[in-house]
């Protein structure tokens, strides 16, 4: 059997400290700043909503208070505010398909009297002009939900039916309950307009979409719609004819630009052509330049029309660059802003202004940056940047759950725009049932060159692994360069670490080690949304080199390389895969004891081998203690299918190959896991409940493991 050490007293004391910090932070965040503030909060009118369920009621109460409570006079709502709130409730309920909803309203006046109004609809909402209320109760009676039962298309050839259906309600889910197929006349007409716009954007410039038939069952709420589509011919570009109107008395000129054969006249292609012509004028100092286009058909055929794109380019006045003005920078040093907002003349280039605005935004200390043009004379314009700074200090409470760490909580304290130089400091304290961690980081963006960030960090970690305790203290300094245009970043840092592994099977050879290392890393991230990717890929490479000459005792090298890819296979069906390889040891020195125990690989968990808890898939000795691996290969393959708009199911296959010693590189033993999972897709990433079954467990291994976690697995 495997041995396991648990520092229960230490965990409890850490948790107590963490909860005390959270209590103090919450008290500071939510305590009224004065008696006057408390009295003001008590004087606000109250709004109650019933009939939308526990969560729906609360959500509706919050946004109604935000919308109408600010307009309350003397702590009471007037008739207009109450009517607005009622209409908003009925309108939003109707958009969910409840077209015949009724609303009962009860008011409590400032004098304490109560009045009731029953059976309001959107057409009958009306209060006496003198009505006022300190407290309002809204009770919705939603009735039957009207929903699409069947939507059919005729004349549709270019788009698949599933793509066209997606304009009316979300498709691709295994189940499509009525709540996800609501019908409303306004959204029905909007869906037809959007479908027509999509066809025209794809080159079908004469496409029309209309309702051929619409049947609405008042009793059941079933809606059957027949949509008639007339695509018409698809337009292809023959050439671009540009007529450039004279600027400041210059004569007009005309020219032609060739177009690649078979170019479809899509809206995106036309917009790109106009933008290219405007951009050329902007660079030459014509900020008022405009371009208009019209199509001139020249040849029609079966389902096809060739046309010229006739563009009229108006340059307008040529403007000289005046002064650069800054406003709203109460804390940020003007010298820093001047460097970021620098523009070269003599002519005013709107594209250069946009790039200067982006440079200011990248400093990370502004909520918004607005560029404004101020006409000093007829031929000279000043450029003004209006800045809205972020708060100087912020505090956030952190909560979460992991299958191994169980519940965790913490606090993050941020100091923004330190010294007015756009520097930032972050302190993060996190406590779970398995670990205690703290991290303080100081960053200085845009040093030496655009996109280059300097940073320094101090980190501490104490963690209970499956069969040993890990302690780490780290100080690091480095630089990171980002390349947003190609979605890449690279970094170089120097790290000084103190590493300790208590009760490990190799403690007699490792124990407490000090390591000085240089770490070089590179990453490409082409995923559409990192929190819950649906398409795209990510590739990364990290190398670490430690030598006694770098200020430590250990001599080792550590390399990690991996990629993940995501692709939609069909509506609502997604393929996710990843491959990761790591190797660590004393490649250069050949010292078998050069690698600290903490730097070995410990696979297992909800992001690697899901049949095991974190670190549980590591190579073991005869007594069941973790040895760690010097070489590891992890592969994951997963299919995810949408069940509803919010819920999805997944099946997965995980592979782990590892070797405890580099002599057995790359793989000495292999483990396989297969499993299923259920996911609730939220704006902060999927909440995952998964079960991984071990297909070839070793003696002492679990048969399988249940994971509950937040975030995409890879």
- SS3 letters across 80-92: HHHHHHHHHHHHH
Cβ-contact 399, 26 below 8 angstroms: no
Q: CA nearest 568: which of 642, 657, 510?
A: 642
- pLDDT, one tens digit per residue, over 39-61 is 454 567 889 999 988 888 898 88
Q: pLDDT band at residue 505, thresholds of 50, 70 and 90? A: low
Q: CA nearest 505: which of 436, 590, 602, 433?
A: 602
Provide CB contacts within 8 A for 136, sequence distance 6+: 45, 46, 47, 48, 77, 82, 85, 105, 106, 107, 108
The rounded Cα 558 to chain-centroid distance in angstroms is 31
In this predicted model, which residue has the larger pLDDT, 620 or 457?
Answer: 457
Residue for token digits 């790290």?
A: 495
* For residue 504, pLDDT beyond 60: no
Worst-scoring range by mean pLDDT, 33-47, 54-68, 471-485, 685-699?
33-47
Cβ-contact 130, 170 below 8 angstroms: no
- pLDDT, one tens digit per residue, over 611-635 is 999 999 999 888 888 899 999 999 9
Q: pLDDT band at residue 590, thresholds of 50, 70 and 90? A: low
The four Cα atoms 308, 196, 527, 369 give a dihedral, to 10 degrees, of 80
Q: In the numeric block, which tokens belong to residue 417?
A: 């725009």
In this predicted model, which residue has the larger pLDDT, 440 or 3?
Answer: 440
Q: pLDDT band at residue 1, thresholds of 50, 70 and 90? A: very low
> What is the predicted pLDDT for the residue at 33?
41
What's the whole-number mean pLDDT along residues 400-418? 88
123: phi > 0 → left, psi -120 to 50 → alpha, else beta; which? Answer: alpha
Worst-scoring range by mean pLDDT, 114-123, 242-251, 303-312, 316-325?
242-251
Residue for token digits 């008011």?
A: 107
The C-alpha atoms of residue 507 and residue 500 are separated, in whole angstroms, by 9
* For residue 679, pLDDT beyond 90: yes
What's the whole-number mean pLDDT along residues 644-666? 94
> What is the predicted pLDDT for the residue at 592?
58
Environment class of residue 648 by beta-carbon count within 10 Å: exposed (0-12), middle (13-18) or buried (19+)? buried
Tell me the percentage of the chain whose pLDDT exceeds 90. Answer: 69
- pLDDT, one tens digit per residue, over 66-111 is 776 555 556 788 898 899 999 999 999 999 999 999 999 999 998 8
Provide CB contacts within 8 A for 556, sequence distance 6+: 515, 544, 546, 584, 585, 586, 594, 595, 596, 599
The C-alpha atoms of residue 269 and residue 260 are separated, in whole angstroms, by 12
Provide CB contacts within 8 A for 508, sequence distance 6+: none
The C-alpha atoms of residue 200 and residue 159 are separated, in whole angstroms, by 12
Q: CA nearest 147: which of 90, 213, 96, 211?
A: 96
The rounded Cα 328 to chain-centroid distance in angstroms is 28
Topology at the third CATH level for domain 147-230: Ubiquitin-like (UB roll) (3.10.20)
Taking the chain, what is the end-to-end CA distance rounded to the nearest angstrom? Answer: 32
* For residue 371, pLDDT beyond 60: yes
Cβ-contact 8, 426 below 8 angstroms: no
* For residue 414, pLDDT beyond 90: yes
What's the whole-number mean pLDDT along residues 298-325? 92
Q: CA nearest 690: which of 641, 651, 645?
A: 651
Q: CATH: 1.10.3720.10, 3.10.20.310, 3.90.1150.10, 3.40.50.300. Which one for 329-389?
A: 3.10.20.310
Strand partners, 241: 256, 310
Peptide bond into 667 cis (omega under 30): no
Residue for token digits 């190797």?
A: 583
Q: What is the mean pLDDT of the chain?
A: 89
Q: Does domain 407-710 have CATH number 1.10.3720.10?
A: no
The rounded Cα 326 to chain-centroid distance in angstroms is 31
Residue 374 CA: distances (Å) to CA of 197, 325, 355, 366, 381: 37, 10, 18, 22, 6
The C-alpha atoms of residue 196 and residue 198 are separated, in whole angstroms, by 5
The four Cα atoms 698, 699, 702, 703 give a dihedral, to 10 degrees, of 70
Give me the sign of the Cα torsion angle 488, 492, 497, 499: positive
Stated as kind and residue range, the H or E segment containing 24 is: helix 8-30
What's the whole-number mean pLDDT along residues 554-583? 95
Q: Give CATH 2.40.160.50 domain extents, the chain.
A: 407-710
Cβ-contact 60, 85 below 8 angstroms: no
What's the whole-number mean pLDDT along residues 698-705? 93
Cβ-contact 243, 271 below 8 angstroms: no
> What is the predicted pLDDT for the residue at 683?
84
What's the whole-number mean pLDDT along residues 424-439? 95
* For residue 8, pLDDT beyond 90: no
The C-alpha atoms of residue 636 and residue 106 are separated, in whole angstroms, by 57
Environment class of residue 189 by beta-carbon count within 10 Å: exposed (0-12), middle (13-18) or buried (19+)? exposed
The C-alpha atoms of residue 673 and residue 677 are separated, in whole angstroms, by 13
pTM of the model: 0.82
Tell me the percentage of the chain whose pLDDT exceeds 70. Answer: 90
> What is the predicted pLDDT for the residue at 6?
41
Q: Give CATH 3.10.20.310 domain extents, the chain.
A: 147-230, 329-389
Could you tell me whether strands 536-546 and 132-133 are parallel, antiparallel, or unpaired per DSSP bridges? unpaired
Strand partners, 236: 264, 306
Q: In the numeric block, which tokens belong to residue 226?
A: 């027949």
């Amino acid at each position: 059997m495997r041995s396991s050490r648990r520092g229960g007293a230490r965990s409890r004391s850490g948790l107590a400290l963490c909860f005390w910090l959270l209590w103090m932070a919450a008290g500071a965040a939510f305590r009224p700043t004065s008696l006057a503030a408390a009295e003001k909060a008590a004087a606000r009118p109250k709004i109650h909503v019933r009939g939308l369920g526990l969560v729906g009621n609360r959500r509706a109460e919050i946004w109604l208070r935000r919308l109408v409570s600010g307009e309350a006079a003397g702590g009471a709502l007037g008739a207009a505010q109450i009517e607005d709130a009622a209409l908003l409730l009925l309108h939003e309920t109707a958009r969910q398909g409840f077209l015949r909803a009724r609303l009962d309203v009860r008011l409590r006046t400032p004098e304490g009297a109560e009045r009731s109004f029953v059976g309001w609809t959107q057409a009958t909402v009306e209060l006496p002009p003198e009505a006022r209320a300190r407290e309002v109760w809204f009770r919705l009676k939603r009735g039957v939900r009207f929903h699409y039962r069947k939507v059919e298309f005729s004349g549709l050839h270019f788009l698949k039916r599933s793509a066209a259906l997606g304009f009316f309600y979300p498709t691709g889910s295994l189940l499509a309950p009525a709540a996800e197929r609501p019908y409303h006349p306004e959204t029905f007409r909007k869906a037809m307009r959007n479908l027509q716009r999509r066809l025209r954007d794809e080159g079908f410039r004469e496409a029309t979409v209309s309702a051929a038939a619409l049947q609405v069952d008042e009793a059941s709420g079933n809606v059957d719609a027949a949509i008639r589509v007339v695509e018409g011919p698809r337009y292809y570009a023959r050439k671009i004819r540009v007529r450039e109107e004279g600027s400041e008395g210059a004569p007009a000129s005309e020219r032609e630009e060739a177009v690649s054969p078979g170019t479809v006249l899509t809206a995106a292609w036309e917009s790109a052509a106009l933008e290219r012509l405007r951009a050329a004028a902007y660079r030459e100092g014509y900020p008022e330049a405009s371009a208009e286009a019209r199509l001139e058909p020249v040849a029609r055929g079966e389902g096809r029309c060739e046309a010229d794109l006739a563009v009229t380019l108006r340059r307008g006045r040529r403007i000289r660059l005046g002064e650069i003005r800054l406003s709203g920078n109460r804390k940020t040093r003007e010298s820093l802003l001047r460097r970021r907002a620098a523009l070269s003349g003599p002519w005013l280039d709107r594209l250069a202004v946009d790039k200067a605005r982006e440079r200011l935004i990248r400093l990370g200390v502004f909520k918004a940056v607005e560029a404004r043009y101020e006409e000093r004379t007829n031929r000279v314009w000043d450029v003004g940047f209006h800045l809205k700074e972020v708060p100087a200090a912020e505090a956030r409470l952190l909560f979460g759950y992991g299958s191994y760490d169980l519940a965790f909580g913490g606090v993050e304290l941020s100091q923004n725009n330190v010294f007015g130089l756009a520097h930032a400091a972050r302190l993060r304290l996190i406590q779970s049932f398995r670990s205690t961690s703290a991290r303080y980081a100081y960053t200085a963006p845009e040093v030496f060159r655009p996109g280059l960030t300097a940073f320094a960090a101090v980190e501490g970690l104490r963690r209970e692994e499956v069969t040993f305790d890990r302690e780490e203290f780290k100080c690091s300094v480095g630089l990171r360069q980002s390349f947003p245009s190609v979605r890449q970043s690279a970094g170089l840092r120097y790290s000084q670490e103190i590493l300790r592994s208590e009760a490990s099977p190799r403690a007699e050879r490792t124990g407490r080690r000090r390591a000085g290392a240089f770490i070089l890393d590179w990453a490409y991230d082409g995923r559409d949304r990192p929190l819950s990717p649906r398409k795209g890929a990510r590739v990364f490479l990290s190398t670490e080199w430690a030598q006694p000459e770098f200020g430590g005792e250990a001599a080792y090298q550590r390399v990690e390389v991996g990629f993940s890819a995501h692709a939609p296979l069909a509506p609502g069906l997604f393929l996710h895969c990843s491959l990761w390889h790591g190797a660590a040891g004393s490649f250069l020195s050949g010292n078998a004891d050069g690698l600290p125990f903490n730097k070995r690989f410990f696979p297992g968990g909800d992001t690697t081998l899901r049949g095991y808890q974190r670190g549980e898939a590591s190579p073991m000795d005869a007594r069941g203690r973790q040895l760690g691996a010097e070489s590891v290969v992890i592969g994951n393959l997963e299919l995810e299918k949408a069940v509803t708009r919010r819920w999805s199911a997944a099946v997965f296959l995980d592979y782990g190959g590892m070797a405890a010693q580099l002599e057995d590189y790359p793989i000495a033993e292999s483990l396989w896991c297969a499993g299923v999972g259920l996911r609730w897709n939220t704006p902060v990433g999927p909440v995952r409940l998964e079960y991984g079954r071990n297909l070839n467990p070793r003696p002492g291994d679990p048969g399988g493991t249940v994971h509950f976690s937040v975030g995409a697995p890879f």
